[in-house]
Chain A
Amino acid sequence: MAGTSGRFTTVIKAKINKLLDKAEDPGETLDYSYQKQLESLQGVKKGIADVVTAKKRLQMQTSKLEQSVVKLDTQARQAMGQGNEELARMALERKNVAQSELQGLDSQVTELEAQQQKLIESEQKLRTKIESFRTKKEVIKAQYNAAEAQVRISEAATGVGEEMADVGLAMQRAVDKTENMRARADAVGELEAAGTFDDITALGDGQDDIDRQLHQLSSKSAVDDDLAKMRAELGQGTPPPAAPQIEKGEGAA
């Protein structure tokens, strides 16, 4: 009775059939199959490298975001210390955004780690199967007549073909997941580029508006402190508004 096989099974069977249909005589089938197997193994290696690259990229984004969280927290405290609640709120809001992004990235990095591990195991398994096929290939060549060989090759090639197709599907799934993550990492990258999550150590062009406002605040308060000190030295009492300072300056000239 014909079972309705799922998508995965269908894909695997189609791949095996394609592999077996290609060649006609046993010798050719053997060589073609083995060639395909080696190519497939290379593909798996490349797939693993891609996953590692994607993971590294996400890890970089993660450490940037971690710095941002620390920075924004410091900024919020500074702003509160200056009595600027509005600025403190802005910094804390950004900190929250960064934190929730961070959580998402963390779980994605963990997932990629698992994918990578699985692919490495798959690659080793496939390598073993291909090696086994290579051995069997020599036996088939030496011991069987063409008709028998064809049957045995089909059996052996089905075994390896199935493994190859399985690894292929696993890779495809890993790549799909990686692409989703890449899109997300790019979105975070854009936030950074917009100045939301600048590095606190970059005080030159890297300053964002919170930095600048805080800088202005601290300069302003430093000026105020200096003025207060000067007033005390000069024996003046309560500081007058700004305008009298100009009169005083004019008077001294």
Chain B
Amino acid sequence: MIVRIMSEGQYRLEESEHAKLDELDDVVVARVEAGDQAGYTTAFSELLSFVRDTGQPLGPDDLEGSDFMLPPADLSFEEAGNEFTGEGLIPDPPA
């Protein structure tokens, strides 16, 4: 699967990483919903780090579309309120 971090680039991750990605995404949602700003900052940066560390960056001339899109790293806590709600940005992996 391909994940885009906005303002940054696209990464190719193994399908098997979907569950972990979803889990990290859910943590961000929980922190945002709890109004925990410091917790959000940590959780969001962990989510992005996971994508960067686990994924292979796509070449600049690659024209593939992304399966998931994550907001830019400088997303504010207020903006996060519009992004991380309900199921978050990564839906549950297919059973």
- Residues of A participating in the B interface, judged by any CB pair closer than 8 Å: 1-9, 12, 16, 118, 122, 124-125, 128-129, 131-133, 136, 155-156, 158-162, 166, 169-170, 173
A159/B6 contact (C-beta < 8 A), A1-B91, A4-B86 known? no
B84 at the interface (CB under 8 A from A): yes
Q: A6-B84, A162-B69 are in contact. List 9 more A-B contacts (CB 8 A).
A: A3-B87, A5-B89, A7-B83, A8-B6, A124-B60, A128-B60, A132-B63, A158-B64, A159-B64
Contact of B91 among A3, A158, A162 (CB under 8 A): A3
What is the CB-to-nearest-CB distance from B32 to chain A, in angstroms, rounded to a whole number?
11
B55 at the interface (CB under 8 A from A): no
Give the A-B pair count, Cβ closer than 8 A: 77
What residue in chain B is nearest A13 (Cβ atoms)? B69
- Residues of B participating in the A interface, judged by any CB pair closer than 8 Å: 4, 6-7, 9, 60-66, 69, 71-72, 79, 82-92
A7/B82 contact (C-beta < 8 A), A136-B63, A155-B65 known? yes
CA distance A6 to B91 in the complex (A): 12
CA distance A124 to B72 in the complex (A): 18
Prevailing SS type, chain A contact patch: helix
A158/B65 contact (C-beta < 8 A), A118-B7, A166-B6 known? yes
What residue in chain B is nearest A114 (Cβ atoms)? B74
What residues of B have a CB within 8 angstroms of the CB of A129 in the complex? 60-63
Contact of A132 among B62, B86, B87, B89 (CB under 8 A): B62
Can you list 26 A-B contacts (CB < 8 A)? A1-B91, A3-B89, A3-B90, A3-B91, A4-B87, A4-B88, A6-B82, A6-B83, A7-B83, A8-B6, A8-B71, A9-B89, A118-B7, A128-B61, A129-B63, A132-B60, A133-B63, A155-B63, A155-B65, A156-B63, A159-B63, A161-B65, A169-B6, A170-B6, A170-B72, A173-B72
